[in-house]
C-alpha cells in the first residue's frame, strides 16, 4: 500500500480534508481571511493538506470565547474535569493507530515513535485524572491565637501553548491535560511544519467537551507562523505562555511575556551528553547512545549530541559505534524495518550540512561521514546519513545545538573532568552516565554533578516518562512539564488567614491602639 493511499484513509478517519480551517474553539471552525499554507511530508515530499492561517479578527474571537469558557469551566469541580480528560484519553486510544501514522508521516519520525507520541498523550491524560483529586494546598499554624492559615490554588485562566514540530502533539497534551484539570482553558498554536496532527487532536478533544455540554473555547486552536505566536505572547489576557522550541525563540517569548509581567514556561534547546566511564557496560552504553543520537533523526530536544568517553575505552566505543551506524537502515518512516527517517525539511538539511562543514573547519575528525541521501526512496531531499565526529567540547559548533543526527565524541581522563565537560555548554536539559560503579553514579547525581534538569544512570538522554517533571536549566529555560508538581505552573496560589476569635491581634506582636 502506498504512503498516499494509507495516509488518506487515516486522514479521513481523523476528520481531516485537503483544505482545513486553521482556527477553532471546539468542534466548530472560525472563519478567517488568512491565507492557506501547506503541509508537506518529509517522507516523500507529497502535499498532505492545506491549513488556513489565523488572522487578527479570528484570533480575537478565539480569545473572547476562551474567556467566556473559562468563567464556566473553572466552576466545574476538579474531579469532574478529570473525568472529561479521562474520556479524552480514551478517545485518543481509539484513534492511536491513525494519529500515530499521521504524526510519523507529517513529521518524519518512525511509525513506532509516532505511536509512542500518542501513547504519551494517553499517559498524561491518565496522570491528570489522578491529579484532579490531588490539587493540594497546605495548612499552617498562625502565630496569632484564634487564627488559622492555609493556602489554596485557583485556576489561572487562559494558557497559551506554542509547540514545536518534533513533538507535534505530545507536548501540547503535557500542558493541556494538566491545565484542564486545574480549571484553565487552552489556546494552542502548533508548529506550522506539522499543523494537521494538531487539527486532528483538536477535533478529538473538542468532540469530548461538546459531548459533555461544555462551552466552546475550553480547547482552542490557532495556526500560522511566528506572527500568531507574537499575538499570543503580547496578549495580556493570557497569563501563561508555555513555549517549546529553540533557545532563540524562547528568549524572544520570555522578553515579550516578561514585559507585560506575564508568566512563561519554557522548554528550549538541549546539548545533551552521555558520560561513558571505564566501568560502563559497553553493550548497554552503545544501545543507549545509538537511539539517543539517531532517534527521530536527531530532532529531539533530548537527543544525544555528545559522548564523553573515558580514554581507556574510547577506541573500543568509537569502533563499536561506527559498526552500529553501518547497520542503520534509513528510509520511509512508515516502514517499520527502517531505523531512521528524514529531517523535517530542506532547511534542516542545510543546517546539518553547515554543522558538518563547521566541525571539520574547527578540526573535527570524521568517524562516520555524513551525506545527503539521493535516489529511489529519498526523493524528498530530506534524508541524511547520521554522522560521528571526534571533537573538542570547546569547539563553537559543539557548544550549539544542531537539530540533526550529528554525534561528537570527546575524551576524558577523570570523572571530575567528564562532569565539567558535560556541564560546559550553555544548555542544561538532559544528561546521563553509563557506569557499574556506584561511586561514579552518585557523584554524577550529587550537587556538584550534572547541572541538567534530567540526570540518568545507565539509560540514555532521550525519552521521558509521564510523572517525572520534564525540563532543564540554563538556556533550556527552566520550565517543568508533565509530572511531579508541574501542575502548580497552571494555577495561582492564594494564602488565606481566618480569624475566628473575638479580638484582632496583629502579627509580629505589633501594638496599635487608639
Active site residues: 267, 301
What letter would DSSP give residue 29?
Answer: B
Helix or strand holding residue 432 (H, E): strand 430-434
Between strands 454-457 and 430-434, the pairing is: parallel
The packing angle between helices 195-211 and 96-107, to 10°, is 150
Separation between Cα atoms, residue 313 and residue 298, nearest integer Å: 24
User: Distances in Å between the alpha carbon of 351 and those of 100, 111, 399, 404?
Assistant: 27, 25, 15, 8
Q: What dihedral angle (degrees, nearest 10) is formed by the CA atoms of 227, 58, 240, 238?
A: 120
Closest CA to 413 of 313, 305, 322: 313
User: Distances in Å between the alpha carbon of 133 and those of 21, 128, 498?
Assistant: 36, 9, 24
Spell out the alpha helix ranges (H) of 400-465.
415-423, 438-445
Asked if residues 122 and 89 have their Cβ atoms less than 8 Å apart, the reply is yes
Separation between Cα atoms, residue 159 and residue 479, nearest integer Å: 14
With a CB cutoff of 8 Å and minimum separation 6, the contacts of 496 are 149, 150, 151, 152
C-alpha cell at 304: 544525544
DSSP string over 466-507: TBS-B--EETT----BSBTTGGGGGEEEEEEEEE-SSS-PPG
Grid-cell match 493556602, residue found: 151
| Backbone dihedral angles phi then psi of residue 324, each to the nearest 5 degrees | -65, -40
| Sheet order of strands, 139-141 included | 139-141, 147-155, 491-499
Between strands 47-52 and 36-40, the pairing is: antiparallel
What letter would DSSP give residue 374?
Answer: -
386-412: b or e for each residue (b if 16 or more CB lie within 10 Å)? bbbbbbebebebbebbbbbbbbbbbbb
Amino acid at each position: 500500500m502506498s504512503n498516499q493511499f494509507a495516509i488518506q484513509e487515516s486522514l479521513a478517519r481523523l476528520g481531516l480534508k485537503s483544505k482545513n480551517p486553521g482556527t477553532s474553539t471546539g468542534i466548530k471552525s472560525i472563519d478567517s481571511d488568512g491565507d492557506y499554507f501547506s503541509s508537506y511530508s518529509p517522507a516523500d515530499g507529497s502535499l498532505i493538506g492545506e491549513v488556513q492561517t489565523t488572522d487578527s479578527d479570528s484570533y480575537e474571537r478565539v480569545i473572547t470565547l476562551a474567556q467566556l469558557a473559562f468563567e464556566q469551566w473553572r466552576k466545574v469541580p476538579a474531579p469532574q474535569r478529570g473525568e472529561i480528560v479521562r474520556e479524552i484519553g480514551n478517545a485518543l486510544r481509539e484513534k492511536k493507530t491513525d494519529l500515530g501514522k499521521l504524526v510519523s508521516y507529517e513529521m518524519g519520525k518512525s511509525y513506532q515513535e509516532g505511536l509512542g507520541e500518542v501513547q504519551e498523550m494517553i499517559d498524561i491524560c491518565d496522570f491528570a485524572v489522578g491529579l484532579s483529586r490531588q490539587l493540594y494546598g497546605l495548612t499552617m499554624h498562625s502565630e496569632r491565637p484564634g487564627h488559622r492559615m492555609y493556602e489554596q490554588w485557583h485556576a489561572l485562566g487562559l494558557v497559551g501553548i506554542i509547540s514545536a514540530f518534533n513533538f507535534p502533539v505530545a507536548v501540547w497534551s503535557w500542558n493541556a491535560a494538566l491545565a484542564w484539570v486545574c480549571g484553565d482553558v487552552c489556546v494552542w498554536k502548533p508548529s506550522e511544519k506539522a499543523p494537521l496532527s494538531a487539527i486532528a487532536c483538536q477535533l478529538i478533544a473538542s468532540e469530548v467537551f461538546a459531548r459533555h455540554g461544555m462551552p466552546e473555547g475550553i480547547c482552542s486552536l490557532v495556526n500560522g507562523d511566528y506572527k500568531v505566536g507574537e499575538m499570543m505572547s503580547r496578549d495580556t489576557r493570557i497569563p501563561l505562555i508555555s513555549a517549546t522550541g529553540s533557545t532563540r525563540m524562547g528568549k524572544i517569548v520570555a522578553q515579550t511575556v516578561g514585559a507585560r509581567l506575564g508568566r512563561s514556561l519554557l522548554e528550549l534547546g538541549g546539548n545533551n551528553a552521555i558520560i561513558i566511564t571505564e566501568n560502563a557496560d559497553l553493550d548497554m552504553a552503545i544501545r543507549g547512545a545509538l537511539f539517543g543520537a539517531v532517534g527521530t533523526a536527531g530532532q529531539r530536544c533530548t537527543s544525544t549530541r555528545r559522548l564523553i568517553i573515558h580514554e581507556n575505552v574510547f577506541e573500543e566505543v568509537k569502533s563499536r559505534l561506527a559498526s552500529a551506524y553501518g547497520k542503520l537502515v534509513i528510509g520511509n518512516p512508515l516502514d517499520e524495518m527502517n531505523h531512521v527517517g528524514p529531517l523535517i525539511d530542506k532547511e534542516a538539511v542545510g543546517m546539518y550540512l553547515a554543522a558538518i562543514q563547521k566541525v571539520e573547519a574547527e578540526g573535527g575528525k570524521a568517524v562516520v561521514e555524513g551525506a545527503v541521501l539521493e535516489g529511489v526512496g529519498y526523493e524528498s531531499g530530506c534524508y541524511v546519513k547520521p554522522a560521528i565526529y571526534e571533537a573538542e567540547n570547546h569547539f563553537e559548533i559543539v557548544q550549539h545545538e544542531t537539530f540533526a543526527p550529528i554525534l561528537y565524541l570527546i575524551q576524558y581522563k577523570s570523572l571530575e573532568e567528564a562532569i565539567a565537560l558535560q556541564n560546559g555548554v550553555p544548555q542544561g536539559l538532559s544528561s546521563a552516565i553509563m557506569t557499574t560503579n556506584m561511586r561514579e553514579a552518585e557523584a554524577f547525581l550529587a550537587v556538584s554533578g550534572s547541572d541538567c534538569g534530567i540526570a540518568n544512570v545507565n539509560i540514555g538522554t532521550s525519552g521521558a516518562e509521564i510523572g517525572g517533571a520534564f525540563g532543564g536549566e540554563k538556556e533550556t529555560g527552566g520550565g517543568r512539564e508533565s509530572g511531579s508538581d508541574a501542575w502548580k505552573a497552571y494555577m495561582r496560589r492564594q494564602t488565606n488567614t481566618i480569624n475566628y476569635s473575638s479580638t484582632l491581634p496583629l502579627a509580629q506582636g505589633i501594638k496599635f491602639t487608639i
